[in-house]
Amino acid sequence: MTKRTIIITGGAGFIGSHVVRLFVNKYPEYRIINLDKLTYAGNLANLKDIEDKPNYRFVKMDICDFEGVYQLMQEEHVDGIIHLAAESHVDRSIKDPFTFAQTNVMGTLSMLQAAKLYWESLTTPYVMQDVDRLPSSLAHVIPTEERGSVSMGKELGMTSTPCRFYHISTDEVYGALEMTHPQGIEPPFTTKASSGEHHLAYGEKFFTEDLKYQPHSPYSAAKASSDHFVRAFHDTYGMPTVVTNCSNNYGPYQFPEKLIPLFINNIRHRKPLPVYGKGENVRDWLFVEDHARAIDLIFHEGKVAETYNIGGFNEWKNIDIIHVLIKTVDRLLGRPEGADEDLITYVTDRAGHDMRYAIDSTKLQKELGWEPSLQFEEGIEKTVRWYLDNQEWMDNVTSGDYQKYYDDMYANR
Ligand code: NAD
Ligand code: DAU
């Protein structure tokens, strides 16, 4: 059995908590360290069901704390990093770009530099004298006589290196796609473009891995910058990195600043639903557990230095999703169908609002065989049910500073 010690940053957040849960349950032989600062978005209640597992440790730490991170890596003999910690909400980035640069850029740099120094230190007698503590994944790669001269990357061959820095990024770094359609056919139209399968699309172009970065918001600019640093650490120092860019996630445990949980909560409480602009913007939605499965697969089998796009060819206009949410919440609460349609309130658009995101995940599907497991209808039903069944979770995260955030963001909009 391969033993690994992995730091997952941002493990108390939305996607991170699903990744931590998956790894802790699926790999009892691994040691999973959840490193999280517990900002407003971090919540240990997201991990109640696994917090007592013997292969899990939570460490409250800021990724910008270089010394602390380096020491933790030494103490735990870390051989893998899955880096999710970030400031993640576009609207907040528009109000406070500095925090986004600090966490997403400097924080990622701090993680990279700490991993580089620690993994380079494995060329020292640590490996020779302490063979039992050598990550067992190294054992088959390094002949016994060569132990002691191990470095983190090149000598071992990039595809079989034991250490790995996996950076989780977003499709927003590619910018915005246009809404286009073949002549005479109204969107959404059925296409096989960028996929072997038929799917609905609002445009003829998709985000592919080789596309030029064109971020528009402070959030996506900071994420783009962090992606560049990760690739620079590979190209300059031989760091075994991998980057993935995923589309919009939805599912349980998402902080209710994002469209889906915010709207479910407002419908439940019959509060206005603030639709930006005309509600025409298109997003490509993926169930969060499918993202977590992709991360598991890519962490173990993705090629070093590669980029993989993750998405399920599932484009929706915001306003159409909102109708689905109203219908589903009303049905599950026993309200007359469409009873809450009048909550829809068109408000001032988000500054620089990207029109359309659409991921082409063909590379991931072809090279590693990943596919989403859930149809959107099934995923959204599961998600709405979860929020309605977990009102206590929602009440906790919407107490405290949330009301102030809500007023700052939406009053007078
Ligand atoms: P989230 O905001 O729900 O969680 C972020 C987590 O990071 C929180 O637990 C927070 O406490 C932690 N964190 C923030 N700053 C930190 C710091 N300085 N040090 C340590 N921990 C810190 O975010 P999410 O939606 O789960 O996104 C996770 C990652 O996935 C992000 O990198 C984001 O860019 C990326 N991503 C998100 C989506 C999406 O739809 N949510 C899609 C694609 C990619
Ligand atoms: O594409 C991946 C990205 O998806 C991630 O990198 C980000 O971390 C994540 O927040 C998400 O970004 P979006 O800006 O697309 O998600 P959000 O839920 O904030 O908004 C989805 C759409 O809904 C967007 O077009 C804006 C609109 N919207 C959002 C809110 C919060 C509204 O119309 N009203 C709202 O109140």
Q: Is residue 387 part of a domain?
A: no
Give the mean pLDDT of the chain.
90
Ligand 1 contact, 170 CB (< 6 A)? yes
Instruction: Check residue 129 and give its pLDDT.
Output: 34
> Domain with 81 in it: what CATH number?
3.40.50.720
Per-residue pLDDT tens digits for 131-140: 444 445 444 4
Instruction: Check residue 14 and give its pLDDT.
Output: 98
3-class secondary-structure state, position 10: coil
Whole-number Å distance, alpha carbon 259 to ligand 2 midpoint, is 6
Instruction: Check residue 181 and give its pLDDT.
Output: 79
Instruction: Check residue 122 and give its pLDDT.
Output: 85
Instruction: Check residue 184 and give its pLDDT.
Output: 78
Which of 14, 214, 283 for mutating ligand 2's site (highest number of atoms within 8 Å of CB)? 283
Give the closest residue to 87 by CA, choosing from 271, 242, 221, 237.
221
Which of 93, 248, 321, 408 for mutating ligand 2's site (highest number of atoms within 8 Å of CB)? 248
Q: In the structure, what pLDDT confidence band is assigned to residue 2 with cuts at 50, 70 and 90? A: confident
Q: Is residue 226 part of a domain?
A: yes
pTM score above 0.85: yes
Neighbours of 378 (CB within 10 A): 11
Active site residues: 171-172, 219
pLDDT(174) > 70:
yes
With 0-12 / 13-18 / 19 or more C-beta atoms within 10 angstroms meaning exposed / middle / buried, residue 287 is: buried
Domain limits for position 172: 5-257+284-318+356-378
pLDDT(142) > 70:
no
Q: Is residue 24 part of a domain?
A: yes
Q: Is residue 328 part of a domain?
A: no
Stated as kind and residue range, the H or E segment containing 394 is helix 391-397
When divided into structural domains, the chain yields a total of 1
Q: Is residue 267 part of a domain?
A: no
Ligand 1 contact, 62 CB (< 6 A)? yes
Q: Is residue 246 part of a domain?
A: yes
Nearest ligand (C-alpha, residue 272): 2
Per-residue pLDDT tens digits for 284-322: 999 999 999 999 999 999 999 999 999 999 999 999 999
Per-residue pLDDT tens digits for 330-361: 999 999 988 999 999 999 999 999 999 999 99
Q: Is residue 128 part of a domain?
A: yes
Pair 206, 177: CB distance under 8 Å:
yes
Residues lining ligand 2, CB < 6 A? 88-90, 170-172, 247-248, 258-259, 262, 274-276, 281, 283, 318, 350, 357
Phi, psi angles (nearest 5°) of residue 164 = -155, 135
Give the closest residue to 44 by CA, choosing from 22, 87, 86, 12.
12
Residue 259 to residue 357: CA distance in whole angstroms = 15
Pair 168, 83: CB distance under 8 Å:
yes
Q: Is residue 209 part of a domain?
A: yes
